[in-house]
Amino acid sequence: MSGIITLRSITSLSTITSGDSKQILEVLLTQKRSEHTRRAYSHDLRNFFNLVAPGRELTSDLAREFLSLSKTQAISVVVAYRNHLFEQGLAPATVNRRISAIKSLVEMGQIFSICDYDLSAIKNEKIRPYRDTKGIEVAEVIKLFEKIDTDTLAGKRDYCIMRLLWSNALRRGEISSLDVKHFKYSSCQLEVSGKGRNGERELCTISQKTAVSITEWLQASNGTDKPNEPIFISLDPVKFGNRLSGEGIRLIVGKYCKLAGIEKQMSPHRVRHSAITEALNQNNGNIRATQKLSRHSDPRTVIIYDDNRVDLQGELTRMLDDLI
C-alpha cells in the first residue's frame, strides 16, 4: 500500500455529517440496470475506500467526503490508487474497471452538486486483445455434457445452462437474468438482456433440443407457471429458490469440467469462446454470421477469434520462410 494517499491525511473527517448526506451510493448503483454491474461497482468502490479510508465502512457519507476534495487532491488519491493496483499485478482491464467505478461516482457527485470536476485526466490503460480465444475442442465439450446426469433435478438445470453456453454462446450474466416469461417455447426463442444494452432485451433463437430441455427443467422445478420468477434457481439448501447467480454458473461449469478431466482452466466465458471458435470452423470463417451468434457489437472482436483460430500470422511466416 506504499504511495496510497488516505482521506485522513488530506481532509478533516468532521466536515461531513449524516444529516446533509444524500444517498449518493444508492442512486449510483440503482442507475446500473444489470445486477452483475451493480455488484461489480459495489465491490470496486469498497476496494478503493478500504485503501484510502482504512477501517471505515463504505457509506454515502464517506463517498461525499471523498467528493468534497479538490480536483487536485482527488486526482492524486486516484492516481496513487491506480499505481497501487498495478503494483499488485492486476491486469489493465481490471484496473480500468475499478477506476471507471470511481469516475462514475465523481460524475454522480457533479449531479448532486458536491463537486464540479471530473476525472477525465486519468486515462484508461491500453488493453491487449484476447490472447486465448480458442477454448476447448468439440470432443472435450462432448465429454463435459456426458458428465451431466439429467435424471436429477440439478442435472436438468445444469444441462440447460451448458446448452445455452455452448449452442448460443450466452454470457453467464445473460443466463442468470432470464425469467420464465422470457422463454418462448412455441417459437424456440429467449428474450436476452445483452451486454451494453442497458437492460433492453433482444430475441435470441434457441434449438429445439434446448427448448425441450428448458421445458423439462421448469416442469421438474415447478417453475412453469411463475412468469416473473427466474428460470434458473439455486438448489442449495440455504439459497433454494433464489436466482442462480453468475458465480453459481461458474461453479457449475468448473464442476463438470473437472469431472470430464478437462485440464484447461475453464469458465462460462471459456465455453463461450469455444462455441464462437467452433462456429467459425463450421461456417468457414463467416464473420457476419458469427457476430449474430456472439452478439459482439464490434465485428473486429470476432475477427480476433478468427485470427486466433487459423493463425494467419503463422501461415504467412511459414510462406515467407519457404522463400529463402
Q: What percent of the chain has pLDDT over 70?
A: 80
For residue 172, count other CB atoms closer than 10 A to its CB.
25
Torsion angles phi and psi, residue 179, rounded to 5: -105, 165
How many angstroms separate the CA atoms of 103 and 120, rounded?
8
pLDDT in tens, 253-284: 999 999 999 988 889 988 988 888 888 888 77
Q: Which residue, 186, 183, 40, is CA-closest to 102?
A: 40
pLDDT band of residue 198 (cuts 50, 70, 90) is low
Residues contacting residue 68 through CB under 8 Å, at least 6 positions apart: 11, 15, 16, 114, 115
Grid coordinates representing 140 are: 472435450
Helix ranges (DSSP H) in the chain: 7-10, 24-31, 35-52, 60-67, 71-87, 92-111, 138-146, 153-167, 172-176, 208-220, 246-259, 268-282, 287-294, 299-310, 312-321
Cβ-contact 304, 129 below 8 angstroms: yes
Burial class of residue 116 in the structure, from the number of CB atoms within 10 Å of its CB (0-12 exposed, 13-18 middle, 19+ buried): exposed
Only one residue has cell 428474450, namely 191
- At residue 202, does pLDDT exceed 60? yes
How many angstroms separate the CA atoms of 7 and 285, rounded?
53
Lowest mean pLDDT, pick from 14-28, 55-69, 107-121, 198-212: 14-28
> pTM (2 decimals)?
0.62
Q: What percent of the chain has pLDDT over 90?
A: 40
pLDDT in tens, 47-67: 999 988 888 888 888 888 899
